Amino acid sequence: MRALLATSIGVTCAAALTLPLAAPAPAVPVPAPVAHAPAAPAAEPSGSTQSLPLRPLTDAAARATGEPADSPSSAAQGLRQRDAQRFSLVGVVWDDADAELHGTVQVRARASGTGRWSGWQDLETHNTDHAADSGSAERASGKVRGSTAPLWVGDSDGVEVRVRSQDAGPRSRAPLPEGLRVELVDPGDDPQQPPTTLTPTTVTPTTGAPTSVTPVTSPQPGALPDSAALGLAAAESSAVNADLAPLGATEIPALSKAESEEQAVVAAGAKPFVGPRPRIVTRKGWGADESIRERAFAYTTTVKAAFIHHSATGNNYTCSQAPSVLRSIYRYHVKSSGWRDFGYNFAVDKCGNIYEGRAGGVTKAVLGAHTLGFNSNSMGVAVLGTHSSKNPPAAAVTAIAKLTAWKLGLFGRNPLGKVTLVSGGSGKYKKGASVKLHVISGHRDGFATECPGIRLYKKLGTARTSSAQLQGR
């Protein structure tokens, strides 16, 4: 069961960086960028998104991008090298969320101010399995689009894209989805973190099976100045964690096992095997713009399992850049893909830092959009990076163990155990099927996907054992 609970004020997101760039002289007409946020003279913490339609590749364009000159235009689309406003993350989206892109998507980016272009980089095309369940309010909103996984390219000011459909038979190719466009996301500057002067708000700790919370009565949008409404939205996002840290805190501090067990409230009769609470960077800590997400928080009844993912955004980021990567993914999920909020419940970077993901409270059963068919009664944890051919850092695997030992412990779950979940329809399991899964599973266990990458997937046994040990089992 899901209960959608209105608790926050939505505000129109402002702001983008606009750099005066000399226009190139392309061989074919290039459409002007469509910005999802108005231009401003300097970058704002909220960031910006440029949306550029892709066009059929002409013979000349095909040769320039390495495609055969006789490629049918319906099977090859792209964007020639062009200047762009500053961006750091790139993805491709299309109109129909249920349409799959059967083919390859490759991008090149030019490092800002250097004129140096990267080599061609692949985007993971099968991203529809990271999404809200069919029939859910989020999926039925009319806003959701099909999308590739986004790729972190670092500070860039130029882009080139090529999309090629795969063979569908002799002399034929699978048609590409309608409305293809590339999304260029600027995460904005890291936010300033002044000392909080807000009064902490008391929130009753979760019982382990939250089905509802008391909505906050808030003025309607427009009743407050934008800055005040944005501040209220941020305060409400923080208030759901106010039993763990002061209102406006940038992190939730770590606790010992004894302290964690004392504070934990688990299901009636469940033995309190709760791991020590790890340090968690809050949404405020990584600079989430609370005005762009949907106003409501959404919950399911419990947390039975944790699905482990990789973000597939690449490994070329530093740990100090992780908040920027998170802000970029968040904006891509909401503004480009049409989701209600950041898809994952938590994220982990290569240094083992743990981040709060989707808003609603880190101790609560927040409904995510991470594992199609199995979002109910589960949580999603994304390791920032791509781990199909690269091993995840030991610090990231340890962070998975710490997070699951604590969070699953709040709901009485054994990390070494198995649990039965009912599929909402995933492509791998039909809707209504009862599926027995590990309490700590990989995304591929619930959906036919490579996620979380075979190298990370092979580490889940280690994570389960360490998680159980931290719980004292």
Query: How is residue 161 written in tokens?
Result: 């894209």
Domain co-membership, 332 together with 467: yes
Query: How far is it, in rounded angstroms, from Cα 119 to Cα 352?
Result: 29
Express each pLDDT in 10-54 by its tens digit. 333 333 322 333 333 333 333 444 444 433 333 345 799 999 999
Residue 404 shares a structural domain with residue 330: yes
pLDDT at 426: 73
Q: Is residue 193 part of a domain?
A: no
Beta strand ranges found along 10-124 (DSSP E): 16-17, 34-35, 39-40, 48-53, 55-56, 76-94, 103-111, 121-123
Scored b (16 or more CB within 10 A) or e, 374-410 reads bbbbbbbbbbbbbbeeeebbeebbbbbbbbbbbbbbb
Q: Higher confidence at residue 188 or residue 74?
A: 188
Write down the pLDDT at residue 179: 96
Q: Is 432 exposed, middle or buried (0-12, 13-18, 19+ CB in 10 A)?
A: exposed
Question: Residues 158, 41: one domain?
Answer: yes
405 vs 81: CA distance, rounded Å: 48
With contact defined as beta carbons under 8 Å apart, do 163 and 102 qualify?
A: no
Whether residues 180 and 233 share a domain: the answer is no
**C-alpha span between 428 and 448 (Å, rounded):** 6
In the chain, the percentage of residues whose pLDDT exceeds 90 is: 61
Instruction: From 186, 216, 247, give the residue that closes a domain.
Output: 186
The pLDDT score that the predictor gives to residue 210 is 36
Catalogue the E-assigned strands of 127-180: 146-147, 151-165, 167-169, 172-173
Question: How would residue 74 be classed by pLDDT, with cut points 50, 70 and 90?
Answer: low
Quick one: 454 and 345 in the same domain? yes
Q: Is residue 112 part of a domain?
A: yes
The span from the CA of 106 to the CA of 182, in Å, is: 11
User: Beta strands 305-310 and 378-383: pairing type?
Assistant: parallel
Looking at the fold, whether 156 and 231 belong to one and the same domain comes out as: no
Q: Which tokens is 106 given?
A: 């490759």
Domain region containing 334: 226-471
Rounded percentage of the chain residues whose pLDDT exceeds 70: 74
CA distance 458 to 189: 36
Domain count, the chain: 2
Q: Are both 181 and 234 inside the same structural domain?
A: no
* pLDDT at residue 205 greater than cutoff 80: no
Residue 104 phi, psi dihedral angles, 5° rounding: -120, 145
336-362 tens-digit pLDDT: 999 999 999 999 999 999 999 999 999
Structure tokens at 185: 């996301």
Instruction: Give counts: helices (H), strands (E), the chain.
Output: 9, 24
